[in-house]
Structure 1
Amino acid sequence: MQLLTPAPWPDYELLDSGNFEKLERFGRYTLARPEPQAIWDKSLSEQEWKRLADASFRRDKQSPERGDWTISPGMQVPWMINFRQQGLDLRFKLALTTFKHVGIFPEQATNWTFIHDRIQALRQQGVERPKVLNLFAYTGAASLAARQAGSDVTHVDAVKQVISWSRENMENSQLENIRWIVEDALKFARREARRGNTYHGIILDPPAYGRGPEGEKWVLEEHLNTLLQSCAELLDKTNFFFIINLYSLGFSALILDNLIQQHFGNQPKAEWGELFLNDSHKKRLPLGVFYRFSSI
Structure 2
Amino acid sequence: MDIKLLSPSCWSDYELIDSGAFEKLERFGRYVIARPEPQAIWNKSLPDVEWQQRADAYFKKDKKSEDRGEWICKPKMPQQWFVNYRYGEMNLRMRLGLTSFKHVGIFPEQAENWNFIFDQVKRIGSEAKVLNLFAYTGGATLAAKSAGADVTHVDSVKPVVSWARENMEASKLDGVRWIVDDALKFVQREVRRGKKYNGIILDPPAYGRGANGEKWVLEENINELITLCGQLLEGSNSFLVLNLYSMGLSALLARSIVRQLVGDCTGEQFGELYFTDSYGKSLPLGVYYRLWRK
- Tell me the distance in 2 between the aligned counterparts of 1:152 and 1:118: 13
- Tell me the distance in 2 between the aligned counterparts of 1:96 and 1:286: 22
Question: Which of 276, 279, 286 pairs up with 1:278?
Answer: 276
Give, as a single letter, the amino acid of the residue that structure 1 aligns with 2:16: L
Question: Which of 150, 154, 157 pairs up with 2:155?
Answer: 157
CA drift at 1:58: 1.3
CA drift at 1:252: 1.2
- Tell me the distance in 1 between the aligned counterparts of 2:254 and 2:272: 11
Question: Which of 107, 110, 115 pairs up with 2:109?
Answer: 107
- Tell me the distance in 2 between the aligned counterparts of 1:272 and 1:266: 15
Secondary structure in 2 matching 1:270: strand
Give, as a single letter, the amino acid of the residue that structure 2 aligns with 1:155: H
- Tell me the distance in 1 between the aligned counterparts of 2:162 and 2:255: 34
Following superposition of structure 1 onto structure 2, how do residues 227-238 of structure 1 map, counting pairs within 5 Å? 227-238=225-236
- Tell me the distance in 2 between the aligned counterparts of 1:138 and 1:266: 29
Q: Deviations over 1:17-72 (max 9, x none)?
A: 00000000000000001000000000111011001000000110111111100000
Q: Is the 8 A contact 2:83 2:94 kept in 1?
A: yes
Give the equivalent residue in structure 2 for 1:71: 73
Following superposition of structure 1 onto structure 2, how do residues 11-90 of structure 1 map, counting pairs within 5 Å? 11-90=13-92
Give, as a single letter, the amino acid of the residue that structure 2 aligns with 1:216: E
Give the equivalent residue in structure 2 for 1:214: 212
Give, as a single letter, the amino acid of the residue that structure 1 aligns with 2:76: G
CA drift at 1:179: 0.3
- TM-score under structure 1 length normalisation: 0.97
- Tell me the distance in 2 between the aligned counterparts of 1:254 and 1:244: 12
Q: Give the length in aligned residue pairs.
A: 292
Query: Structure 2: which 5+ residue stretches go unaligned?
Result: none
Give, as a single letter, the amino acid of the residue that structure 2 aligns with 1:46: D
Give the equivalent residue in structure 1 for 2:258: 260
CA drift at 1:194: 1.1
Q: Is the 8 A contact 2:230 2:263 kept in 1?
A: no
Query: Structure 1: which 5+ residue stretches go unaligned?
Result: none
Question: Which of 97, 100, 105 pairs up with 2:99?
Answer: 97
Give, as a single letter, the amino acid of the residue that structure 2 aligns with 1:196: G
* Identity across the alignment (%): 58
Give, as a single letter, the amino acid of the residue that structure 2 aligns with 1:237: G
Secondary structure in 1 matching 2:267: coil
Give, as a single letter, the amino acid of the residue that structure 1 aligns with 2:8: P
Runs of 4+ more than 2 Å apart:
265-268
CA drift at 1:267: 2.7
- Tell me the distance in 1 between the aligned counterparts of 2:70 and 2:290: 35
